[in-house]
Structure 1
Amino acid sequence: MTGARDRVLDAYETLLIEKGVGAVTLDAVAAAANVSKGGLLYHFASKDALTEGVLQRLRERSKADADAIRSAPEGSVQYYVRTSAPGFASRSLARSYLAALRLADDSPTGRAARAALAEVDADGYAALCDDLGDPVLALLAQLIGDGLYLRTLAGTPLPPGITVEQLLQRMREIADQD
């Protein structure tokens, strides 16, 4: 069972994703989380605090994902690309990321959201670099994964006849040419 704090963060993420920053009020978040406004304010004293809570949650989820990248038995690239593909991306990380993207588009919260998103990017890149030892190859893997992740967020399937396995195989071929 999730606690009130997590329900509030879940509700805020959902409202950001579905309605955008301008339509989200503390009253709307409290109602969506099924808590009183006082209950919301107990956990987050202001909308800025609520925003920081969502961005901190994104950072925590990103750190956990970077740990998973580093410890993946199949290797960092296979894990990163596979878990970025439509149908495989972490729902919780994807939701937090998408909510942060919405915040990044808003001028009052944009700078903090863009900084959090940059940390997420750096986490993934560092994890790939740690395993691959080649910054260019790590960036290529990250860009492929990020493109697949964008498809996940947009609900866009891979083109017919192209599979994640084919992408990974081609990446292995490129890496072996060095």
Structure 2
Amino acid sequence: MPESKPTRRYSVKNVKPSAGSQNASLRILEAARAIAARDGAGKITIDAVARESGLSKGGVLYNFPSKKALLSGLLDQMLTSHRALSETLPHDLPSRILRGQLETMLQMQKADVDLAMAILAAAASDPQLLDPLRAELSDQIDLILSETQDPATAMIVVLALQGLRFQDLLKLPDGGAQVRERVVERLRTMIDELE
């Protein structure tokens, strides 16, 4: 019986890059973000990223062996940015994780929405691509629910935030700017009232 191939993991977290490789990886990810911002996430290709970064195609492929690996790197970068924003919030703030999720969503740029959509599209053919996101959200939900006296309200806020993210990603109707602003303020109040 032939030996089965291990499932390929696309997370760049599993790789211990050298300093030079790490610098190249950051340069490649910045090039991919620049392409997404300027031309749309659908234009991110290995060739386009090589041109934008000034690296050879082989140099890009050395750091990210496929477009899926590149998108996984971008997802890891987005998760890292979310963590960094959450860390800027006061540690004694009630429901700091929920507040971090809300503020991250509000600061999301159009390029980030396009990148998130590209990652979701790639995940349709390779659901494991979203494993780091699932793990992070699962850990956050466990922590949120363990730190509150009102887990039902906390979970309503989590689900509302996820709904708002998908509304942005899929460009679904949002009731207009005034309604959305009131929804955001209501979510802030709900977060602040959680113990």
Q: TM-score range by the shorter chain?
A: 0.5 to 0.7
Question: CA 1:90 to 1:126, structure 2 compared with 1: closer, same or farther past 3 Å?
Answer: farther
Question: TM-score scaled to structure 1, two decimals?
Answer: 0.63
Gaps spanning 5+ residues in structure 1: where? none
Partner in structure 2 of residue 160 of structure 1: 178
Distance 1:132 1:112 in 2: 31
Normalising by structure 2, we get a TM-score of: 0.59
Alignment of 1:27-176 (within 5 A): 27-61=47-81, 63-64=83-84, 71=91, 73=93, 75-76=95-96, 77-85=98-106, 88-89=107-108, 97-105=116-124, 107=125, 110-153=126-169, 154=171, 159-161=177-179, 162-163=181-182, 164-169=184-189, 171=190
Q: Offset of 1:34 from its aligned partner?
A: 2.8
2:176, 2:128 → 1: CA distance? 32
Partner amino acid for 1:168?
Answer: R
Check the 8 A contact 1:81/1:148 in 2, yes or no: no
Q: Deviations over 1:107-152 (max 9, x none)?
A: 1xx2222323322432432342243254433321111222333355
Q: Which runs of 5+ in 2 are unaligned?
A: 1-21
Given that 1:59 and 1:119 are in contact with CA atoms closer than 8 Å, whether structure 2 keeps it comes out as no
| Stretches (4+) displaced over 6 A | 90-93
CA shift in 2, pair 1:64/1:125, >3 Å: farther
Match of 1:25 in 2: 45
- 1:30 Cα offset (Å): 0.7
Report the identity percentage: 25
Corresponding pairs, count: 167
Residues 129 and 135 in structure 1, CA contact (< 8 A), matched pair in contact too: yes
